[in-house]
């Protein structure tokens, strides 16, 4: 008997079907993979965008901070160092430097987040970081050593002059793209404006100082017993002010006040200032008027310190025995108390038309004896510190 086998076609169809299913499965898997990649790209892209926005906001805040520094700091070195310190607070900026041309040499200010880099990394003016100083072009440097993967140097310049370089180091690849670069260019412009303002203010201050020196010379020509008086009193006062914690601006003004403290003598008769004998009472009363004259000459000038008032008070004594207003203790400005001690010291050791100079020992004894009587005790203590550190040898 013949057994009839079932037709093979359905079997074949089943195989085809499985293959097709497999094909579809593969396709679906491929689609899923593409979709997963797409979703991943979207998520990563979103994160990247968020990070980017945060970086730019942070840079914006840094520029605001730099503007605040420019208004607050008037010292070139302190200004540049604070800008560097602020720049390295930016995420992914791990170090920064500013190289600036000062008196024909490039001075470098730098800082790194990592102390190891601070100790190990030295920025050489011959290195590629300084190329922008010569070329005026921005220089990007990738894959630098240590933890630095990305660096950039920008010229600090405009069409008039090139004064230095700003360098930044990042631990992130391609950190400094066009948007960051725009902000960094703003930073270099701010630095240039800040440096120009400081230089301008320094020129004004130097001119004021030279003008004060000119006035002192006029007074000293009229009063031969006061040769170098203004300059010595100014230097000594400056040293005492420094030890009393005065800031740089206050010290500069104290120096100028001390230089011209006797400006009022311009109005005192030559015969009285040069009289080789002890003055009569009426003549002495006239000499005492030099504090008022000095005040009148300067009262309308708006110095950062009230120099006219300091000059008016420089013959007051803390026990009230001075002139012109017989002020006592804390009624007298600290600057006037400083000038008082320094002025007496230099006047006593100087030759006067009416007497020979006192010895230094005798003069120091006089000041020591009158500590807390005529002269402020803290000022006298600082005065002796300055003298004991060899001030007279440096004069």
- Residues making contact with Fe ion (CB under 5 A): 262
Residue with smaller CB distance to Fe ion, 220 or 262: 262
Six-digit token pair at 286?
């006239």
CB of 290 to Fe ion, least distance (A): 6
Residue with smaller CB distance to Fe ion, 82 or 223: 223
Residue with smaller CB distance to Fe ion, 56 or 347: 347
Residue with smaller CB distance to Fe ion, 160 or 278: 278
CB of 220 to Fe ion, least distance (A): 13
CB of 293 to Fe ion, least distance (A): 11
User: For the purposes of burial, counting CB atoms within 10 Å of the CB of 197, is it exposed (0-12), middle (13-18) or buried (19 or more)?
Assistant: middle
Residue with smaller CB distance to Fe ion, 180 or 262: 262
Q: Which residue is nearest to Fe ion (CB)?
A: 262
CB of 313 to Fe ion, least distance (A): 11
φ, ψ dihedrals at 359, nearest 5°: -70, 160
**Can you say how many angstroms the Cα of residue 115 is from the centroid of all Cα atoms in its chain?**
23
Residue with smaller CB distance to Fe ion, 151 or 259: 259
Six-digit token pair at 260?
């011209």
CB of 226 to Fe ion, least distance (A): 9
Q: Enumerate residues 6+ apart whose C-beta is below 8 A from 76.
A: 100, 102, 195, 198
φ, ψ dihedrals at 217, nearest 5°: -65, -40
Instruction: Return d(Cα 308, Cα 312) in angstroms, integer.
Output: 6
CB of 239 to Fe ion, least distance (A): 20
Residue with smaller CB distance to Fe ion, 80 or 260: 260
Residue with smaller CB distance to Fe ion, 170 or 226: 226
Instruction: Return d(Cα 366, Cα 341) in angstroms, integer.
Output: 10
Six-digit token pair at 338?
């400083």
The DSSP symbol for 375 reads: B
Q: What distance separates the 2 farthest-apart alpha carbons in the chain?
A: 167
Cα angle 106-194-77, degrees, rounded to a multiple of 5: 45
Instruction: Return d(Cα 16, Cα 25) in angstroms, integer.
Output: 14
Q: Enumerate residues 6+ apart whose C-beta is below 8 A from 214.
A: none
Neighbours of 156 (CB within 10 A): 24
Residue with smaller CB distance to Fe ion, 292 or 303: 292
The distance in angstroms from the start CA to the end CA of the chain is 140
Instruction: Return d(Cα 336, Cα 332) in angstroms, integer.
Output: 7
Instruction: Return d(Cα 185, Cα 42) in angstroms, integer.
Output: 32
Tokens 């005026």 belong to 136
Instruction: Return d(Cα 251, Cα 240) in angstroms, integer.
Output: 9
**Cis amide linkage into residue 254, ω under 30° from 0:** no
CB of 262 to Fe ion, least distance (A): 5
CB of 211 to Fe ion, least distance (A): 19
Residue with smaller CB distance to Fe ion, 262 or 335: 262
Run of H or E residues at 182: helix 178-222
């Amino acid at each position: 008997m013949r057994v009839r086998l079932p037709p093979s076609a359905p079997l074949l169809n089943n195989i085809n079907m499985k293959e097709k299913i497999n094909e579809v499965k593969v396709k679906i898997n491929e689609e899923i993979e593409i979709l997963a990649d797409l979703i991943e790209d979207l998520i990563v892209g979103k994160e990247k965008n968020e990070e980017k926005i945060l970086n730019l906001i942070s840079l914006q805040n840094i520029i605001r901070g730099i503007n605040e520094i420019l208004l607050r700091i008037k010292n070139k070195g302190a200004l540049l160092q604070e800008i560097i310190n602020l720049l390295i607070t930016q995420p992914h900026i791990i170090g920064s430097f500013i190289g600036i041309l000062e008196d024909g040499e490039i001075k470098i200010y730098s800082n790194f987040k990592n102390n190891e880099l601070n100790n190990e990394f030295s920025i050489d003016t011959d290195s590629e970081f300084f190329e922008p100083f010569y070329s005026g072009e921005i220089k990007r440097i990738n894959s630098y050593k240590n933890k630095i993967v990305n660096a950039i140097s920008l010229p600090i310049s405009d069409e008039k002059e090139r004064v230095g370089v700003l360098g930044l180091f990042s631990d992130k690849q391609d950190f400094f793209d066009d948007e960051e670069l725009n902000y960094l260019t703003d930073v270099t412009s701010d630095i240039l404006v800040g440096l120009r303002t400081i230089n301008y203010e320094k020129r004004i201050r130097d001119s004021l100082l030279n003008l004060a020196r000119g006035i002192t010379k006029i007074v000293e020509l009229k009063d031969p017993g006061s040769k170098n008086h203004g300059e010595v009193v100014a230097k000594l006062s400056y040293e005492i002010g420094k030890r009393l914690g005065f800031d740089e601006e206050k010290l500069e003004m104290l120096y100028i006040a001390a230089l011209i403290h006797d400006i009022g003598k311009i109005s005192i008769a030559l015969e009285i200032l040069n009289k080789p004998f002890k003055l009569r009472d009426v003549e002495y009363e006239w000499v005492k008027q030099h504090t008022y004259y000095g005040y009148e000459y300067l009262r309308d000038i708006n110095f950062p310190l009230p120099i006219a008032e300091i000059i008016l008070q420089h013959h007051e004594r803390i026990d009230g025995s001075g002139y012109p207003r017989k002020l006592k203790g804390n009624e007298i400005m600290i600057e006037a108390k400083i000038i008082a001690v320094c002025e007496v010291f230099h006047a006593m050791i100087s030759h006067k038309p009416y007497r020979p100079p006192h010895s230094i020992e005798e003069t120091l004894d006089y000041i020591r004896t009158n500590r807390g009587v005529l002269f402020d005790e803290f000022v006298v203590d600082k005065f002796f510190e300055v003298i004991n550190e060899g001030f007279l040898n440096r004069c």
